[in-house]
Chains A and B, each alone.
Chain A
Amino acid sequence: MLFKKKETVEPVTLSFDDYLTTVINVYESIPSSVSLLKPKMEAIFSDSYDFSERNFSLPSGQKSYLCYLSGLINEELLDDNVIKPLLHREENIEVSDDFENILTLKSFQPVTTWENTVELILAGNVLLIVNGVKPVVLFLAEKNLRNVADPTTEYQVYGSKLGFIEDSRTNVGIVRQFIQDPRLKTKEYQLGKVSKTHASLVYLEQYVDVKTVETIDSYLKGFNQKHMLSLGQLSKYVSRHPNSIFPQASKTERPDHVAYALTQGKVVLFVDNSTFCLLAPITFMDMLETSEDHSFLVSWNLTFIRLVRLISLLFGSSLPALYVALVAFQPELIPTTLTINVAQSRAQIPLPATAEAFLMLFALDVLVEASIRLPSFVGQTIGIVGGLVIGTAAVEAGIVSNVMVIVIALTAVAIFTLPNWEFVSSWRIVRYAFVLSAASFGLYGLVLAIGFLCLHLAKLDSLGRSYLYPLTPFDGKELKNFFKPQR
C-alpha cells in the first residue's frame, strides 16, 4: 500500500475536572484523616517527581502530613513558620482554627473542593493535614521571577532602559509607575482550561473607547481553548481577521511604549510567562511609530524619521517587483544610460530577472532567519558569510547581476527601518506577492497588486478601528499630528 491508511484517533479529553474524576471521587468531601487523604493526593500527582510529601507526628501524638510541588514554594518559610511551630505544640489540635495560634504564617485557608485544592497546590501552595482536623492550604507560593531588566528586542537610543518580565501582575505594577492615575483600570482572567494562564487587561478609563473594552472583555471571557501558552495565540484570538497577513495587534516589551499607547486610548493585554504584551486596537500608522520618536527635542526630526520609514516601506516592499517589471516588461521606462548599464550587467546572467529576484529574496530571508536566533558572535559570522556569498561571490560567479544585488540590499535595509518586527515579516510576504504579480503582468500587474493590497488594508480593522485611519476615514488633523505633533 502506497499510503498508510489514516487511523481514526478518538480525541483525548484533557479537561482538568474530567481528569480528576478518573483518579478520585470528586463528589466526596476531602477527608480529615492522613491515611485517607495521602493515597488520594499521591494518585492525583502520580509520576511527578517534584511532588513532595512530609510525614511527621506532633508531640501530642497526632499524625501530620504535608504535600506540595517543590520548586514553587519557599521551603525556608515552611520550616520556620509551619513545621517548627507544629513540632513545639504539645496540646492536641482540635479544629483548623487552632492553626491561627500555632502557625506564624500570613495566610492559610481550610480546603473547600478537590478542584480548588489541587489548583492551589499547582499554584505553589502547601496542603497541611493533622489527623482529625480539616485540611488547610498554606499560602507559601514563591514564583520564579527574574529581576526587571533592559528590553532586549526593542533597542532604543533615548528610550527608558526598562523592560517587562514574565509575570503579568508585576508588569501591571510597572505600568502603574508610569501612569499614576486611578483611571488606570485592570481586569484579570484565567485563560486555558489546562494551562490556566493568568492574563490582565489594562486600560485608561475616559481615554479608551468603552466598546473596545467590552469587545475584548467578551472575547477573553469566552476563551474556551485548553491552552494559552503564547501571546501570538491570544493575538489571533482577539483579531477579527485572523487570515490577514497584517497584524491587528502589536507586541511590545517596553513599559514606556505601553504608557504612550494607553494615553492613545489603546488597551493592553498582559499574559503570564511572556515578557511582551499586546496592544490593540492598532492602525497602519501605529506600526511606523516607536515610543522613542517622542524623545526628539526637535519635532522636525520626528517628521523626517517618519517620512523615511514610510518611503522605506515603499522601497522595501516594491523595489524588487519594480525591477522585474521594468527589466522584463517595460525597459523603455528606465533612463537610457541606466538601461545600457542594466543590460550590460545582465549580459552573461543565465537566469531571467524574475528567477534572479526570487533567488535573491529567498537568500535574503534565509540569511535573516538563520542569523536571527543565533548568539550575536555566530550571527555576525553568518552576516559576513551571507553578505559575501550573496554579494560579491554571486556576482562574480555570474549567477546574479550587480544591479540586482543593489536592489536587494536596498530592499533589505529599507524594510528594517520599520520598528515592528511582526509588520516587517508581513511586508516580506507582500514583497514576494508583488514580484510574482510583476513577473506575470509587468507594471500593470504591480499596480494591480498594490491596488488589491490597498483594498485589503482599507477593509481591515483592529477591534473595530479602521486599519488605515487617519487616511480612511480621513482625519487631516490626526494625519498632520502623525508627521508633526502639536506642542
Chain B
Amino acid sequence: MIKHTNFKKISLIILIIMFSLSLFGCADTREIDQRTIVIGMGLDKTEEDEYIVTLQVPILVPNGATESGTNDFETITGKGEFVWEAITNLEASTPTVLFFGHLKAIAIGERLATEGMDHIIDLLDRRAPLANEVFLLIIRKQNDVHDFLNQESPLISLPALYIDRFFGADQKVSRTKSVRLFQFRRDHDMVSHAATIPLAYSNEDSIFIEDLGVFHNFKLVGELKGHEAGVGMLLKDKKVDHMNYSLDIEQPNTNLKASIRVNLVNNISYDKTNPVKMNFNINGKGELVYLYPEGIYSSQETLNKIVRELEKEISQDITDTINKMKRLNVEPWLLGHRIWAMDTEYFSTLNWNETGWRDAEYDVSVNVEIEQTGQRGMLDKKKIGD
C-alpha cells in the first residue's frame, strides 16, 4: 500500500516536472557576446529601386581597450530586392548572429516614405524578435540614411541611443512627438488611416529632430512644421505643454516684444450637423519669460495686450494647421475616430474620408491666463495688502 502511494507520488512529481519543462519555449541559448547587438536600423531605397538596410552596431572591445572609454560603433549596409533579403545579406557580413532585442530606433529615408512603406511596416510588425516599441523617424532627403546613422553626436556616442534618450527625456519643446512602431500602426488602423512620424536630419555637428511627417495610407503626404506639430498634439492628445510664442506687439511709441511659454488644454466637442461642426475650446496657462524694452513692467494693461495677441496667434495657428490638413484631405489627429467611437451611425453619414473631413466646420476659442510674470527684479512692486 505504501509502495503504491509512493509510486503515485513519484509519478505525479515526474509528470509535473515534464509538463513544466515542456512549456519551455526559448531554445535560443546564445550568449550575449555571440550576438551582434543592433541598436539602430536604417531603411531606404536606392535609385535602382533596391532596398538598402543600414544597421548600427556597437563595437565590442574589452573594457579599457579603448582610450576614450566611449562606446564606439560601426554601421554596416546591405542591399536587396526586398528588405528581408537585404537583412539576410547583412548576416553574411557579421561575425555573430544579428540580435534585434535592443533595437532603439528605425530611421526611414524620405524617398522610401514618399513611395509608401506599407510592406516595411508589415515586416517590422511581423518579426517577433523586433520589439514594437522602437521609435520611428523619417530622415529628410538632404541626408542619406546611412550618413545619418553614422553621425556621431558629441553628446551621446551612439546615434540610436541619442534618439532613445531624446524621446525618453520627454522633450519639453513641443516641436515634435515621439512615435513608436505600435503607435504608428495603431493610429494608422483608425478610421482616417493617417498617422505622423517625426522628421530628422543631421549636419556635421549634430542631430536635429523636429517637425512631423504626415502619413496617409502609409505614404508621406505632408509635414507639420514648428507650431503645427504642437497644435497637432493639442488636437490629438487634447493637451500640449511648453509651447513657445514670441510676440511683436505694435504700440504708439515703441514696439513691445514678449516671449511666452504656454501650456494648453483642449476641450473637444462636436455638433451633429452634416457636415460636422467641431468646437475646440482651448484654455491655457502661460509664463512670461521675456519682455522688451527693459523697464516696461508687466502692468495689467500690458498683460491684457499680450494675452489678446497670444490668443489670436494660437487661434491662427490652429486654423492654419487644420486648413493645411484639410487641403491634403488627411486627418491625423483621430478627430474622426472620436466621432466614430461616440456615434458610429452618425459618423457613417459624414462620408469622412472622402468629403467629411474636408467639409467639416470648426470653431476655435482660446482663453489664456498669464500665471507667472517673472518680475523678481522689480524692486518697487507693491506688497499685498498695502
Contacts and interface: CB of A to CB of B under 8 A. Distances in A.
Interface of A: 327-332, 336-337, 339-349, 352-353, 398, 402, 441-442, 444-445, 448
A342 B99 CA distance: 15
A346 B29 CA distance: 16
Interface stretch (B19-27, B113-121, B284-292): B19-27
30 contacts: A327-B32, A328-B29, A328-B32, A329-B26, A329-B28, A329-B29, A330-B26, A331-B32, A331-B37, A332-B101, A332-B131, A336-B39, A337-B161, A339-B32, A340-B60, A340-B71, A341-B63, A343-B32, A343-B33, A343-B35, A345-B63, A347-B33, A348-B62, A349-B33, A352-B31, A353-B32, A398-B62, A441-B24, A441-B26, A442-B24
Nearest to A333: B101
Contacts of B33: 343, 346-347, 349
B172 interface: no
Contacts of B80: none
A332 B102 contact: yes
B29 A344 contact: no
B275 interface: no
Q: Which of A332, A342, A353, A444 has the most CB of B within 10 A?
A: A332
A327 B26 contact: no
Contacts of A441: 21, 24, 26
Contacts of A346: 31-33
B225 to A, nearest CB: 31
B31 A327 contact: yes
Nearest to A353: B31
Q: Which of A329, A340, A402 has the most CB of B within 10 A?
A: A340
6 interchain residue pairs of minimum CB distance: A332-B101, A346-B33, A331-B32, A336-B102, A347-B62, A348-B62
A343 B60 contact: yes
B32 A342 contact: yes
Interface in B95-131: 99, 101-102, 104, 131
Interface residues of B: mostly helix, strand, loop or mixed? loop
Interface in B137-165: 161, 164
B31 A402 contact: no
Nearest to B101: A332
A344 B62 contact: yes
B329 to A, nearest CB: 40
A442 to B, nearest CB: 5
A341 B62 CA distance: 9
A341 B30 CA distance: 17
Nearest to B24: A441
Contacts of B31: 327-328, 346, 352-353
Contacts of A337: 161
Contacts of A341: 63
Given A329-B28, A344-B60, A448 B20 contact: yes
Nearest to A439: B29
Nearest to A455: B16
Nearest to B33: A346
B222 interface: no
Contacts of B32: 327-328, 331, 339, 342-343, 346, 353
A442 B63 contact: no
A344 to B, nearest CB: 5
Interface in B1-44: 20-21, 23-26, 28-33, 35, 37, 39
A444 B101 contact: no
Contacts of A344: 60-63
A330 B26 CA distance: 9
Given A332-B102, A402-B63, A340 B37 contact: yes
B78 interface: no
A331 B101 contact: yes
Nearest to A335: B102
Contacts of B25: 444
B161 A442 contact: no
Q: Which of B23, B26, B30 has the most CB of A within 10 A?
A: B26
Contacts of B102: 331-332, 336, 339
A363 to B, nearest CB: 21
Contact of B35 (A331, A347, A445, A448): A331
A340 B29 contact: no
A337 B70 CA distance: 11
B32 to A, nearest CB: 5
B16 to A, nearest CB: 9
Q: Which of A329, A336, A345, A445 has the most CB of B within 10 A?
A: A336
A189 B298 CA distance: 94
A344 B71 CA distance: 9
A347 B104 contact: no
A448 B20 CA distance: 8
Contacts of A442: 24, 26, 29
Nearest to B25: A444
Nearest to B13: A452
Interface string B55-86: 00010111100000001000000000000000
Contacts of B35: 331, 343
Contacts of A332: 99, 101-102, 131
A328 B21 CA distance: 18
B193 to A, nearest CB: 31
Contact of A347 (B24, B61, B71, B161): B61
A345 B21 contact: no
A352 B32 CA distance: 10
